Structure 1
Amino acid sequence: MRFRHGTPADADRIAELHTASWRSAYAGLMPAEYLEGPLREEHLAKWRQRTAAPTAHRRLLLAEEEDELLGFIHLDTAVDSRVHVDNLHARPGHVGTGIGHRLLRRGFAWAAAEHPGRDVYLEVLRGNDRAIAFYERQGGLRTAERTLHMAAGFALDEIEYTWPAATVSRRAA
């Protein structure tokens, strides 16, 4: 498996994987008409914008094998100065093969090197039991629960997981 930084040329492939991941992981959690409707276009616009304007405060790392995109992680710095794992996805059919683990470790390495002393956190939807179990196995600590209000007009419960700054460098790749 090869890891590399995402570029504008990757936006369409990232959006496709992101959409496939949501359709697989969030079936039954999000309305089907949303997952099968505007989701792909929303993801495409998001990834075209993000890859067109890279900054030092973001990291987009891709996992590939023989030119197939198998997963990606996107991190950025939050307003509260923590490092936010905004997206971590493995291609359906490859979930559970270690891709997420390897990407998360590389994300921790970036956070430790570029933003030392900062906690790393992410949000996961309540009901996404596989992801919740994964983050707990990776040492994430449940630090908050809240409601996520989606622009599409529905709300979902989410759980925040945090890796304290003191543990981030130890968990890095």
Structure 2
Amino acid sequence: MIDTETAIRTGTAADAPAVAALHAASWRTAYAGIVPPEALGDGLLAERRELWELRLTVDYGEPAATPLLLVAEDGSGEPVGFGYLVPQPDGRVLVDNLHVRPGLTGGGIGTALLGAARSWVASAHPGAALYLEVLRENRRAVAFYERCGGVRTDERRAPFPGGFELPEYEYTWARP
């Protein structure tokens, strides 16, 4: 069950450093033994920081095309998880990232973030399906998405920086 002190809010550009650090820590934990070790090395935090500074400062134009960052915070205001939702040209919304601070997984934070994502899609993009991509070997995440009602709708290979590819699944939540 999610801690009653955990709150979910809309993220801002000021969240970039904390989200980047959480993102890198989550990758190092979830992807250890799945992706090549060099992909999780010293440059990962700087890459994530650059990514989040760009994502959270770019002007996407019209509101319907603008992604949303959801940040889960503990009672002290410390980020403990995040989700990043990106409207797609095909009318669906991609959960481009859903991460919970290592050591806090299994406590309901991911479920709360996914629920907030689904609620946002229902109100901001009525009728749109929510979907995400997950590495096939990330078995804990695959099991989580299936428990949360996601339906596997595709399989493919995901390209990564550094020139390698890994098998991934696509999970979709039906349009409300």
1:34 and 1:151 mapped to 2: Cα distance?
8
The AA in structure 1 aligned to 2:11 is: G
What is the DSSP-based 3-state SS (H/G/I as helix, E as strand, rest coil) of the residue aligned with 1:52? coil
2:69 to 49, 56, 60: 60
2:56 to 51, 57, 62: 51
1:8 aligns with 2:13: yes
Name the residue aligned to 1:29. Answer: 34
* Greater Cα shift, 129-138 or 33-42: 33-42
Q: Provide the TM-score with structure 1 as the length reference.
A: 0.92
1:87 and 1:34 mapped to 2: Cα distance?
17
1:139 aligns with 2:141: no
Name the residue aligned to 2:94. Answer: 84
Question: Structure 1 residue 75: deviation in Å?
Answer: 0.2
1:106 aligns with 2:111: no
1:71 aligns with 2:62: no
Question: Structure 1 residue 53: deviation in Å?
Answer: 2.6
The AA in structure 1 aligned to 2:17 is: D
Question: Structure 1 residue 36: deviation in Å?
Answer: 1.3
Name the residue aligned to 1:116. Answer: 126
1:161 aligns with 2:166: no
Deviations 1:82-106 (CA, angstroms, capped at 9, x unpaired)? 0100000000000000000001000
Structure 1 stretches of at least 4 aligned residues deviating more than 3 Å after TM superposition: none
1:40 and 1:12 mapped to 2: Cα distance?
9
Instruction: Provide the aligned length of Structure 1 versus Structure 2.
Output: 166
Q: Provide the TM-score with structure 2 as the length reference.
A: 0.91
1:9 and 1:117 mapped to 2: Cα distance?
31
Question: Structure 1 residue 125: deviation in Å?
Answer: 0.1
Unaligned runs of 5+ in 2: 1-5
Name the residue aligned to 2:104. Answer: 94
* Greater Cα shift, 134-143 or 49-58: 49-58
Larger helix percent: 1
Name the residue aligned to 1:171. Answer: none
Unaligned runs of 5+ in 1: 167-173
2:89 and 2:155 mapped to 1: Cα distance?
18
Question: What root-mean-square deviation, in Å, do the aligned CA atoms of Structure 1 and Structure 2 show?
Answer: 1.1
